[in-house]
Structure 1
Amino acid sequence: MHVPVYILWWIKEIFVAGFQVAWAGFRPTAGYDPVVVRYPLRVTTEWQIFWFTSSITATPSTLSLGLREPAEAGDPRILLVQAAFGSDPAEVVASLADMEQRMSPGIRNIDHGVPGQGDTTTLDPRFYEYPVGRKEQNQ
C-alpha cells in the first residue's frame, strides 16, 4: 500500500519544488546556494537505489550525481546529491532521509548518524561541500 501513497506524495513534492524554483527566479536574490551532500544510503538493492535516485533527480532543484562504494565492509554506500537550495545541508539530508523512508518504510530503524535517520540534528562537515568560490562570496 505504501507505493501508491509514495507516488502521490512524490508528485506533490515535484510540484512544490517546481513552484519554489519558479518563485526564486522572480526574486532579485534567488537564494540559490548549491551544495553537494554525501548521503549514506539505507536502501541496499539496485532496484531501491534506482527508484530513490530517480525520485531525487525528477524533483526540481536536486540531482543525483553518483554512488560511492563503502570504504570499509559494513559501511553504507554513499549517494552524492546536488541541491540548488543548500544553505542548510542538514535540512537537505533530512529531506533525503524522509524521501528514502517514504519510499522504503522498512529502513526506518537504520541510522547512519545523519539528520533524518535518527536523533541527530547536526551534519558533520564531511557529509557536504559547497562549490569552490563560496568562501570568497561570504568574506
Structure 2
Amino acid sequence: MTTRRRAPGRGGRLRAAVGFLLWFTGEFLRANAVVLREVLTPGHGIDPAVVRVRLRSRSMVEIASIMSLLSLTPGTLALNLTTGARSPELLVHGMHASDPEQLRASVHEMEDRLLAFLRRPTPGVVDRDPEETP
C-alpha cells in the first residue's frame, strides 16, 4: 500500500494549495524550457508515447482539473478519459516519454499534489494506489 500526501491539520489545505501552485509553476517553466530547446534544436529529444494512467480522482472537478493541468503543461496532452466500474483511466500523450512508467509516475505525482488540497483529509484513512490490487 502506498500512502499519499495529506494536508495535515488546520490550514493544511491552504499550505497544500500554495505548495501545489509553486510546484506546478516550476514544472510548467521546466516543461517550457524542454519544448523551447526542442524547437531550437529539432530532433534531439522527442520520444512520444501514449500512456494509460489509472486515476484516484473521483469527482468530475478532480478529473477535469488533472486533465486541464496536463494539457496546459507543454509536452503533455490528456487525450481520452474512460470511466466505468473501476477507477477512471486517462490516456496521456507525452512528447518526451522514453520511459512510460516515468510519465505515469509524473501524472500520479501531479494528481497526488492536486488532491492534497482539493480533498478534505479524513482522519485514519489511507488512500490506496489504484495501480495496486487490494
CA distance in 2, matches of 1:10, 1:108: 24
Aligned positions, number = 111
Q: Which residue of 84, 97, 108 maps to 1:86? A: 97
Cα 1:96/1:108, change in 2 over 3 Å: farther
- The Cα shift of 1:24 comes to 2.2
Equivalent residue, structure 2, for 1:40: 54
Structural mapping, 1:50-129, within 5 Å: 50-70=64-84, 73=85, 75-105=86-116, 109-113=127-131
Give the whole-Å Cα distance in 1 for the aligned partners of 2:51 and 2:110: 15
- CA distance in 2 between partners of 1:108 and 1:89 (Å): 26
Please tell me whether the aligned partners of residues 69 and 77 of structure 1 are also in contact (alpha carbons under 8 angstroms). Answer: yes
Aligned-pair identity in percent equals: 32
> Mean alpha-carbon deviation: is it higher for 21-30 or for 11-20?
21-30
TM-score of the aligned structures, taking structure 2 as reference length: 0.75
Q: Secondary structure at the match of 1:104?
A: helix
Structure 1 residues 23 and 88, CA gap change in structure 2 (3 angstroms): same
Paired with 2:52 and 2:126, the residues of 1 have a C-alpha distance of 19
C-alpha displacement of 1:109: 2.9
Question: Where do 5+ consecutive residues of structure 1 fail to align?
Answer: 115-139
**Corresponding position of 1:136:** none
Note the C-alpha offset of 1:29. Answer: 3.3
Superposition misfits of 4+ residues, deviation over 3 angstroms: none
**Partner amino acid, structure 2, of 1:104:** L
